[in-house]
Chains A and B, each alone.
Chain A
């Protein structure tokens, strides 16, 4: 068991380091000189060289990678003397156009994205597993037929279309929900939830579909498995049988959820755009529009970090759900 945990953690760290390597080499290696945008016009070569040295973009990609990883643990200092700026650990880079370290920018936006993603995750698990279980128990019934159609819809319709539709119907036609804005949880939990219902609906609608399908298929498989048929034959109650069946469903659902952290983050980029929320996705897009490479790289790597941590958590939960993994 300890070996299992240790191995997973080493893999996660290794994955993070390799993804950071690929990302930094790709972005600082392939893109135009980020110093050119900062140096203004006209930009004589010697000024540009100075700016480039100041931003530390004149070095090789591998050197930048090493500095970046070092910055995560001990922080990073740009320039010397009066122009010196310090980016404290964990440093995800420094955005010169914004005069702020990327970590601070991310920290400002993170509550929005986390609220969005966590709420949507809970909603989609409840709805997805609930509908899937109901349709497996009453196979061929009304709920089953409804949720099969629902799953088909959710699996195919693009997030932004659902978003636009929810915005149009609930925000403008019925005037039932706010169509933009974010209220922090500490300010007013009720307002916080009220402003996020729309985006939650959109994100969870898209993601729930997969859970409906997996739960339904898996539960049907479980219920017809030999050990449960034998249980029923011996006179166990439905309740007891279901309790055993649920165990078999939890493992694939957890595995699916680990992969869906990526979809959750990607979906929230679009939901943020539709509902004008200022989260991580919005930060990334602003970095793209202002050609601010340090924001683009910082947000991308931070998202990779979230995804890998999510995967790690799922990996560590797995042996608790399935004893076979614990023993292997």
Chain B
């Protein structure tokens, strides 16, 4: 191996990063995802800079007749960056940045959990094959029979009040999220398992764990990362969608989907369109950004994510 080749091999990670940064859509997507993410993480700081908090009522900023915010763009001003919420007069910017927190936290949790389960099961399917692969395959087929969103709504209906709804959401979304990634990883792991170097490792008497860890996982890592990135936008929109339907987070927790759901009557009456547009734009940025970034990542790491079935 020449020096240049060694260097190239060593800098595989950095070159992937460089190739990603060369893709305009990927970088744009990353920015669209990271800016709201940082805003959510720094929510208390940003709201402090704005000089507001997510619960104080500013009824003086509302039209006494009907509760519509006064001023342009739903009451946007130097004090209230995104205006205020109709009827209550709560600061919309504060609601949104705190809302990003809960929504993204749940979506990340669900994506991580489902991809970990998918990676473990998929790798095992690829390595062991045989009856184990058949059982997991059947299980995935069985999961496809469940009426997805409707089943999640039904489950959220019977969550006991003393259980944290956020955690339940993570578990439920992960429960439905592992199937397709597991199938894709399983197919890929099966292909890797059949390759000569794995056969060679087996011939030298390497134990299963070592074969999986040293020979197979490095070849599956890119796929796992891409599948994680691709599952994220879906989970963000389901979390927001459930709150939109009124079965997601409850109580006083600020939440993007809940804001959008509350904004419905105000679009129906046409009185305050901005109440929908600000949180809607944030959800759109996050979801679209995550999709763009995931897509670019898939191209850069050069993995195929088509379902092998």
Residues of A that sit less than 8 Å from B by CB: 15-16, 18-19, 23, 26-27, 30-32, 152-153, 155-161, 164-165, 167-168, 172, 179, 217, 255, 259, 262-263, 265-267, 269-270, 273-274, 281, 284-285, 287-289, 291, 293, 296-297, 299-300, 303-304, 306-308, 311
| Contact residues in B for A30 (Cβ distance below 8 Å) | 158
| Contact with B247, one of A156, A159, A285 (Cβ below 8 angstroms) | A285
Interface residues on B, range: 35 or more
Closest residue on chain B to residue A262 by CB atoms = B148
Smallest CB–CB gap between A24 and chain B, Å?
12
| Contact residues in A for B270 (Cβ distance below 8 Å) | 172
* Distance in angstroms between the alpha carbons of A172 and B268 in the assembled complex: 8
Smallest CB–CB gap between B165 and chain A, Å?
13
Q: Are B158 and A161 in contact (CB under 8 A)?
A: no
Tell me which residues from 115 to 157 in chain B have a Cβ below 8 Å from any Cβ of chain A: 141-142, 144-151, 153-157
* Distance in angstroms between the alpha carbons of A215 and B167 in the assembled complex: 38
Q: Are A164 and B260 in contact (CB under 8 A)?
A: yes
Smallest CB–CB gap between B82 and chain A, Å?
17
Q: Are B144 and A262 in contact (CB under 8 A)?
A: yes
Q: Are B145 and A304 in contact (CB under 8 A)?
A: yes
Closest residue on chain A to residue B294 by CB atoms = A156
Question: Which 3 residue pairs spanning A and B have beta carbons closest together?
Answer: A266-B149, A158-B237, A156-B291
Closest residue on chain A to residue B281 by CB atoms = A161
Q: Are B267 and A269 in contact (CB under 8 A)?
A: no
- The answer to whether B240 has its CB under 8 Å from any CB of chain A is yes
| Contact residues in A for B154 (Cβ distance below 8 Å) | 23, 27, 284, 288, 296-297, 299-300
Residues of B that sit less than 8 Å from A by CB: 141-142, 144-151, 153-158, 160, 233, 236-237, 240-241, 244-247, 257, 260, 263-264, 267-268, 270, 273, 276, 280, 283-284, 287-288, 290-292, 295, 306, 309
11 A-B pairs whose Cβ atoms sit less than 8 Å apart in the complex: A156-B292, A157-B287, A159-B237, A259-B144, A265-B149, A270-B241, A281-B150, A284-B150, A285-B246, A288-B157, A296-B157
| Contact residues in A for B150 (Cβ distance below 8 Å) | 265-266, 269, 281, 284, 299-300, 303
| Contact residues in A for B292 (Cβ distance below 8 Å) | 152, 156
| Contact residues in B for A255 (Cβ distance below 8 Å) | 309
| Contact with A157, one of B146, B264, B284 (Cβ below 8 angstroms) | B284
Closest residue on chain B to residue A296 by CB atoms = B154
Closest residue on chain A to residue B287 by CB atoms = A156
| Contact with B291, one of A155, A265, A289 (Cβ below 8 angstroms) | A155
Kindly count the residue-residue contacts between A and B in the assembled complex, taking CB atoms under 8 Å apart. Answer: 138
| Contact residues in B for A291 (Cβ distance below 8 Å) | 157
Q: Are A164 and B267 in contact (CB under 8 A)?
A: yes
Q: Are B147 and A300 in contact (CB under 8 A)?
A: yes
Smallest CB–CB gap between B267 and chain A, Å?
6
| Contact residues in A for B309 (Cβ distance below 8 Å) | 255
Q: Are B268 and A179 in contact (CB under 8 A)?
A: yes
* Distance in angstroms between the alpha carbons of A274 and B246 in the assembled complex: 12
Closest residue on chain A to residue B143 by CB atoms = A19
| Contact residues in B for A267 (Cβ distance below 8 Å) | 149
| Contact residues in A for B240 (Cβ distance below 8 Å) | 158, 160
* Distance in angstroms between the alpha carbons of A257 and B244 in the assembled complex: 26
Known pairs A19-B145, A160-B260 / 8 extra A-B pairs, C-beta < 8 Å: A156-B292, A157-B237, A160-B257, A164-B263, A164-B267, A172-B270, A265-B147, A311-B145
Closest residue on chain A to residue B147 by CB atoms = A303
| Contact residues in A for B142 (Cβ distance below 8 Å) | 15, 18-19
| Contact residues in A for B288 (Cβ distance below 8 Å) | 153, 156-157
